[in-house]
Amino acid sequence: EIVMTQSPATLSVSPGERATLSCRASQSVSSKLAWYQQKPGQAPRLLIYGASTRATGIPARFSGSGSGTDFTLTISSLQSEDFAVYYCQHYNNWPPGRFTFGPGTKVDIK
């Protein structure tokens, strides 16, 4: 089973600053990685899939990079609505249909 880790657990950032979140897989997942944003009391929202493709309607300040085992989600200039918890998820299982999430990174206001 592929284990996902995320760092840091909490990231304190000032509005307008850049945020860099890390996700690591215990073995290669190729580019089969997604990122989600979750705000308190809300369902998760898909941000990025295929490691770097923004989902429909996601602002350009969100970008994803990486492949293999190391991935990064970057928020170029944090807006007030971006303070949330971010999860990565891989989908490189065979056969497909089983999924694993990372433990999440909380981005809060500095």
Tokens of 56: 């429909």
Nearer to another protein, 25 or 34 (CB): 34
- Interface mask (CB under 8 A) for another protein, residues 17-36, using x and -? ---------------x-x-x
The mark string for 43-82 relative to another protein (x by CB under 8 A, - otherwise) is xxxx--x-----x---------------------------
In whole angstroms, how far apart are CA 98 and each of 17, 90, 91?
Answer: 36, 9, 7
Q: 46 exposed, middle or buried (CB, 10 Å; 0-12, 13-18, 19+)?
A: middle
Contact 99, 89 (CB under 8 A): yes
At its nearest, how many Å lie between another protein and the CB of residue 8? 15
Total number of residues that touch another protein (CB under 8 A): 24
Task: Considering only the C-alpha atoms of the chain, give the largest distance between any 2 of them, rounded to a whole number of Å.
Answer: 43
Asked if 97 interacts with another protein (CB under 8 A), we say: yes
Rounded to whole angstroms, the Cα distance separating 3 from 61 reads: 28
Closer residue to another protein in complex, CB, 27/77: 27
Which residues here bind another protein, judged by CB under 8 A?
A: 32, 34, 36, 38, 42-46, 49, 55, 87, 89, 91, 95-104
